[in-house]
């Protein structure tokens, strides 16, 4: 008897396995493993449709088109809420998918790996892997050229490698090499293999010493290739991701907090800037956000084409008072490359950064749409130093866009909290100070924590303010800006960097200094800085007007029941570039280097669980089938004798027998009895079973099944198990399940 397997199933499984192994490269640029399960489902769906198409003898093109349609269905079912019947891609669902993929493209363009695997990125990864799986399946199974698919799998590695500024995890290269080796082995003998081939030959080809050698060599080559790709990477950008010509700002759309999270969640501290000439610690602003989206949080909106940034710059919009100390600062980018050029304070002159940079006085943003290398630049700036009394007395029209007062999407309970906290504040400045104090006072329960999930819209805002009270600067800045608008103060969220630490006559700014804060508008004085994040590591650089209000020299005891006492003074950085230790009595922030990082364990465990599930699947199918038949026979269901006979035949198939389809039941029974040597009770029960089967098949319909049939079946099975017990392999991989087509004995 020959145990055979369908070789098209083997190559299909190998193709899917190789794509999943290559997909592990995304672990180097995605900060968590939420993308793994959707990606596995998408690739398995492509493989299943391929098997179906070949079973039904579809043309190659029809199979590939159906697989692509399957990818679309999987994306719709997993990432949209407006699918027809929950899975079908109607117009609304297609539009929803388009929005997700557009958002993913923005994250790729602006994010700093590793970035959180948000739904938009999950959808993009699943789409890419789904298309790759279709093409690999076509090449490997349809065209029988598995080696050619290696170029496509290498591209899957090249994309994450070009986005990451460090080498991808070593285990991803090993996984990719192993997947490619199995793929080569599954089709390496296709010129000799038939559509059905001996199981032992297939097993030896897939898992023999040759394949192991190829897997090892492929792993080494992949590791070396990964090093090369990392060395020539594009520092977090896909080549050509930013237009080469400046053409307006309609195309600038991003989820800017993604870049901030990427900086804070890096596994190591990376130097970004060296600054000369900065007299006092001041925040370095990269961009500002004015729109609160109740579904996604704060977003960039209203960026104009502005004015040419190289040269003298106008005062910010709505600002009349440009008095203050003038400083000349030299900024040397080291590990920074982005379309947003960070600036200190109120910039009045810029030079040296290259061409096609624009300055928008309304938002205070310097930006470009030209993909160019970072250059050292010089900034002349003014650092206004209004006193608390001057800001209390700021009066006049609000000469800023009305969108800075828009409260759409802010939950009512948040607005009520803002009103309660500022009830006793007579001026807008006092209201802003009261709201800032609410977050920084440790007695109100807020804690700085990088491990908290990223904030989103209105629900996340309420969750943070009233229940969680844990987060990093994004949550604090987002919440305070919403509270300010709720009491009629124009506000926006600023994203950039704290002033870093001093190193000789320079200040060094690193990825650990990535930060978000709040800017509130005061007539005449323009946008002023507030920072509600309760940092205690010396990085906070509060302006004097705010520091003097939060940390007065003599602090009176707060009235009973008051919820807004002031916070302890913030420590300054120590000389020599050292950051002070956290005060033991204060709330220690989470160390960015100890935050969640991309690591192999979630994916490894997921792959192992999937592998174990796949290994257990044939045995589970066989057990379910056996129980169903035994239950039907015991209950005297119609066709019980035929079901009992099928169960006996499957037991013999599991032992390597494959009766010919042309043999009668008696011929099959005689051959099986001779081959396995059943004892007397088993042989007698087998003859009784054959009689029951013949009576059921050939007697007039309507007869009752024999009452002794269940006992007869159990006697045959028990005798067979005594005479020829199954080994572990046959129990895990029953031939009756894995052999899908007829084969002569």
pLDDT at 268: 65
DSSP H stretches of helix in 138-191: 149-163, 170-187
Q: Which two structure tokens, joined as six digits, stand for 325? A: 């100390």
Output the CA torsion 175→180→182→183 (10° steps). 140
- Of the candidates 502, 482, 503, 506, which has an alpha carbon nearest to the alpha carbon of residue 492? 482
CA distances from 224 to 89, 174, 184, 228, 566 (A): 42, 11, 20, 6, 56
Q: Residues 376-415: pLDDT tens digits? A: 999 999 888 899 999 999 988 888 999 999 999 899 999 9
pLDDT at 606: 60
pLDDT at 242: 34
Gap between the Cα atoms of 536 and 581, Å rounded: 9
pLDDT at 234: 31
118 or 221: whose pLDDT is higher?
A: 118
Residue 320 clears pLDDT 90, i.e. is over it: no
CA distances from 101 to 30, 34, 88 (A): 16, 17, 18
Gap between the Cα atoms of 710 and 698, Å rounded: 20
- Of the candidates 396, 243, 231, which has an alpha carbon nearest to the alpha carbon of residue 321? 396
> Percent of the chain having pLDDT more than 90?
23
Residue 628 clears pLDDT 80, i.e. is over it: yes
Q: Residues 337-346: pLDDT tens digits? A: 778 899 998 9
Gap between the Cα atoms of 245 and 229, Å rounded: 27
pTM for this entry: 0.48
Confidence grade of residue 247 (pLDDT, cut at 50, 70, 90): very low
Buried b (16+ CB within 10 A) or exposed e, 290-303: bbbbeebbbbbeeb
65 or 83: whose pLDDT is higher?
A: 65
Q: Residues 230-239: pLDDT tens digits? A: 333 333 333 3
- Of the candidates 339, 362, 341, which has an alpha carbon nearest to the alpha carbon of residue 351? 341
Where are the extended beta strands (E) located within 215-320?
Answer: 271-276, 284-289, 291-293, 297-299, 307-308, 311-312
Range ranked top by mean pLDDT from 22-26, 173-177, 478-482, 728-732: 478-482
Range ranked top by mean pLDDT from 359-363, 508-512, 565-569, 631-635: 359-363
CA distances from 326 to 351, 382, 546, 741 (A): 16, 5, 21, 84
DSSP H stretches of helix in 464-521: 473-486
What does the pLDDT average to over 69-81? 89
Range ranked top by mean pLDDT from 62-66, 290-294, 428-432: 428-432
Beta bridge mates, 293: 297
pLDDT at 325: 78
**Vertex 135 angle, CA 134 and 137, to 5°:** 65
DSSP letter (8 states) at residue 31:
S
655 or 243: whose pLDDT is higher?
A: 655
Cβ neighbours of residue 459 under 8 Å, at least 6 residues apart? 411
- Residue keyed to tokens 């250059």: 375
What does the pLDDT average to over 642-650? 88
- Of the candidates 577, 742, 573, which has an alpha carbon nearest to the alpha carbon of residue 663? 742
Gap between the Cα atoms of 162 and 28, Å rounded: 11
- Of the candidates 554, 318, 568, 604, which has an alpha carbon nearest to the alpha carbon of residue 443? 568
The Cβ of residue 422 has, within 10 Å, a number of other Cβ atoms equal to 24
Buried b (16+ CB within 10 A) or exposed e, 532-551: bbbbbbbbbbbbebbeebbe
Gap between the Cα atoms of 201 and 180, Å rounded: 19
Gap between the Cα atoms of 346 and 436, Å rounded: 22
What does the pLDDT average to over 602-616? 65
Lowest mean pLDDT across 134-138, 167-171, 440-444, 474-478: 167-171
Cβ neighbours of residue 98 under 8 Å, at least 6 residues apart? none
DSSP letter (8 states) at residue 704:
P
Confidence grade of residue 300 (pLDDT, cut at 50, 70, 90): confident
Residue 299, SS3 per DSSP = strand
- Of the candidates 265, 251, 255, which has an alpha carbon nearest to the alpha carbon of residue 298? 255
Range ranked top by mean pLDDT from 460-469, 476-485, 675-684: 476-485
The Cβ of residue 492 has, within 10 Å, a number of other Cβ atoms equal to 26
pLDDT at 492: 94
Residue 575 clears pLDDT 60, i.e. is over it: no
What does the pLDDT average to over 323-344? 85
Q: Is 561 exposed, middle or buried (0-12, 13-18, 19+ CB in 10 A)?
A: exposed
Residue 331, SS3 per DSSP = strand
Beta bridge mates, 197: 5
Gap between the Cα atoms of 292 and 492, Å rounded: 9
DSSP letter (8 states) at residue 232:
T
> Percent of the chain having pLDDT more than 70?
73
pLDDT at 594: 34
Residue 249 clears pLDDT 60, i.e. is over it: no
What does the pLDDT average to over 93-108? 80
Lowest mean pLDDT across 19-33, 206-220, 564-578, 706-720: 564-578
Gap between the Cα atoms of 351 and 345, Å rounded: 16
DSSP letter (8 states) at residue 319:
B
Lowest mean pLDDT across 261-270, 312-321, 710-719: 261-270
pLDDT at 4: 56
Mean pLDDT of the chain: 77
Angle, in degrees to the nearest 10, between helices 170-187 and 149-163: 170
Confidence grade of residue 198 (pLDDT, cut at 50, 70, 90): low
Positive or negative, the CA dihedral 555, 559, 560, 564 is negative
Gap between the Cα atoms of 214 and 631, Å rounded: 49
Residue 510, SS3 per DSSP = strand
3-state secondary structure 642-662: HHHHHHHHHHHHHCCCCCCCC
pLDDT at 428: 95
Gap between the Cα atoms of 95 and 97, Å rounded: 5
Confidence grade of residue 184 (pLDDT, cut at 50, 70, 90): confident
Gap between the Cα atoms of 82 and 93, Å rounded: 5
Q: Give the DSSP H or E segment for 326.
A: strand 325-333
Residue 478, SS3 per DSSP = helix
439 or 598: whose pLDDT is higher?
A: 439
pLDDT at 191: 42
What does the pLDDT average to over 208-220? 53
Residues in the chain: 745
Output the CA torsion 386→389→392→397 (10° steps). -50
Asked if residues 324 and 383 have their Cβ atoms less than 8 Å apart, the reply is yes
Domains of the chain: 11-231 (no CATH), 270-594 (3.10.620.30), 617-738 (1.20.120)
- Of the candidates 133, 215, 155, 148, which has an alpha carbon nearest to the alpha carbon of residue 181? 215
pLDDT at 693: 85
Confidence grade of residue 322 (pLDDT, cut at 50, 70, 90): confident
DSSP letter (8 states) at residue 29:
T
Gap between the Cα atoms of 214 and 387, Å rounded: 72
**Vertex 400 angle, CA 395 and 406, to 5°:** 105
- Of the candidates 404, 423, 382, 403, which has an alpha carbon nearest to the alpha carbon of residue 522? 404
Where are the extended beta strands (E) located within 501-581?
Answer: 501-503, 506-510, 514-522, 526-530
Residue 452 clears pLDDT 80, i.e. is over it: no
- Residue keyed to tokens 């977090």: 236
pLDDT at 200: 56
pLDDT at 134: 92
Sheet architecture: strand order including 377-383: 311-312, 346-351, 377-383, 325-333, 271-276, 506-510, 501-503
pLDDT at 219: 55
pLDDT at 220: 56
273 or 178: whose pLDDT is higher?
A: 273
Residue 334 clears pLDDT 80, i.e. is over it: yes
Confidence grade of residue 561 (pLDDT, cut at 50, 70, 90): very low
Q: Which two structure tokens, joined as six digits, stand for 293? A: 């989206």
CA distances from 33 to 37, 128, 410 (A): 8, 17, 31
3-state helix, strand, coil in the chain (%, to 5): 50, 15, 40
Asked if residues 134 and 207 have their Cβ atoms less than 8 Å apart, the reply is no
């Amino acid at each position: 008897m020959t145990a055979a397997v369908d070789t098209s199933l083997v190559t299909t499984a190998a193709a899917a396995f190789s794509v999943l192994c290559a997909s592990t490269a995304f672990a180097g640029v995605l900060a968590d493993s939420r993308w793994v399960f959707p990606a596995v489902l998408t690739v398995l769906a492509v493989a299943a449709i391929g098997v179906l198409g070949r079973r039904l003898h579809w043309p190659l093109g029809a199979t590939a088109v159906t697989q692509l349609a399957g990818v679309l269905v999987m994306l719709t079912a997993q990432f949209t809420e407006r699918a027809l019947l929950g899975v079908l891609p109607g117009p609304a669902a297609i539009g929803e998918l388009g929005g997700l993929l557009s958002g993913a493209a923005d994250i790729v363009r602006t994010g700093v790996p590793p970035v959180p695997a948000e739904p938009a990125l999950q959808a993009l990864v699943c789409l890419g892997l789904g298309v790759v799986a279709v093409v690999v399946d076509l090449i490997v199974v349809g065209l029988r050229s598995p080696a050619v698919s290696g170029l496509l799998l290498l591209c899957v590695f090249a994309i994450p490698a070009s986005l990451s500024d460090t080498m991808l995890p070593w285990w991803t290269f090993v996984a990719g090499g192993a997947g490619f080796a199995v793929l080569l082995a599954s089709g390496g003998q296709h010129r000799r293999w038939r559509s059905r081939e001996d199981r032992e030959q297939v097993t030896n080809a897939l898992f023999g010493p040759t394949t192991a050698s190829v897997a090892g060599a492929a792993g080494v080559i992949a590791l070396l290739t990964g090093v090369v790709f990392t060395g020539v990477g594009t520092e977090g950008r896909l080549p050509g991701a930013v237009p080469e010509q400046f053409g307006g700002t309609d195309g600038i759309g991003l989820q800017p907090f993604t870049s901030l999270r990427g900086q804070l969640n890096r596994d190591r501290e990376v130097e970004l800037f060296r600054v000369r000439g900065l007299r006092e610690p001041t925040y370095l602003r990269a961009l500002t956000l004015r729109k609160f989206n109740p579904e996604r949080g704060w977003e960039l909106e209203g960026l104009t084409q502005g004015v040419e940034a190289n040269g003298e710059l106008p005062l910010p919009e709505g600002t009349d008072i440009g008095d203050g100390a003038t400083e000349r600062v030299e900024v040397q980018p080291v590990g920074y490359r982005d379309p947003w050029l960070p600036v200190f304070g109120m910039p009045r002159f810029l030079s040296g950064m290259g061409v096609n940079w624009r300055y928008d006085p309304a938002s205070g943003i310097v930006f470009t749409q030209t993909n160019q290398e970072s250059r050292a630049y010089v900034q002349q700036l003014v650092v206004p130093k209004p006193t608390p009394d001057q800001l209390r007395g700021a009066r006049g029209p609000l000469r800023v866009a009305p969108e800075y007062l828009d409260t759409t999407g802010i939950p009512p309970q948040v607005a009520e909290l803002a009103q309660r906290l500022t009830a006793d504040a007579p001026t807008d400045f006092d209201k802003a100070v009261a709201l800032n104090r609410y977050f920084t006072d440790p007695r109100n329960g807020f804690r700085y924590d990088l491990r908290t999930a990223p904030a989103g819209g209105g629900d996340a805002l309420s969750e943070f303010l009233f229940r969680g009270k844990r987060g990093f600067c994004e949550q604090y800045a987002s919440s305070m800006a919403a509270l300010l608008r709720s009491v009629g103060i124009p506000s926006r969220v600023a994203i950039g960097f704290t002033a870093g630490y001093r190193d000789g006559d320079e200040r060094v700014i690193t990825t650990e200094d990535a930060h978000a804060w709040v800017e509130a508008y005061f007539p005449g004085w323009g946008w002023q800085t507030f920072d509600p994040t309760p940092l205690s590591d010396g990085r906070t650089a509060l302006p004097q007007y705010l520091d003097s209000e939060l940390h007065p020299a003599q602090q009176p005891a707060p009235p009973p029941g008051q919820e807004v006492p002031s916070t302890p003074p913030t420590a300054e950085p120590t000389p020599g570039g050292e950051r002070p230790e956290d005060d033991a009595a204060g709330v220690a922030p989470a160390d960015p280097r100890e935050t969640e990082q991309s690591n192999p364990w979630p994916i490894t465990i997921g792959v192992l669980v999937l592998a174990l599930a796949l290994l257990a699947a044939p045995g589970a199918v066989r057990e379910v089938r056996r129980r169903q038949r035994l239950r039907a026979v015991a209950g005297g269901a119609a066709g019980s004798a035929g079901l009992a006979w099928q169960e006996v035949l499957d037991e013999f198939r599991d032992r390597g027998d494959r009766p010919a389809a042309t043999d009668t039941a008696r011929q099959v029974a005689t051959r099986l009895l001779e081959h396995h040597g059943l004892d007397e009770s088993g042989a007698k029960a087998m003859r009784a079973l054959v009689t029951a089967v013949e009576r059921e098949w050939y007697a007039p319909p309507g007869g009752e099944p024999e009452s002794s049939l269940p006992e007869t079946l159990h006697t045959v099975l028990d005798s067979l198990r005594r005479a020829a017990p199954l080994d572990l392999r046959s129990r895990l991989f029953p031939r009756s399940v894995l052999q899908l087509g007829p084969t002569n004995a």
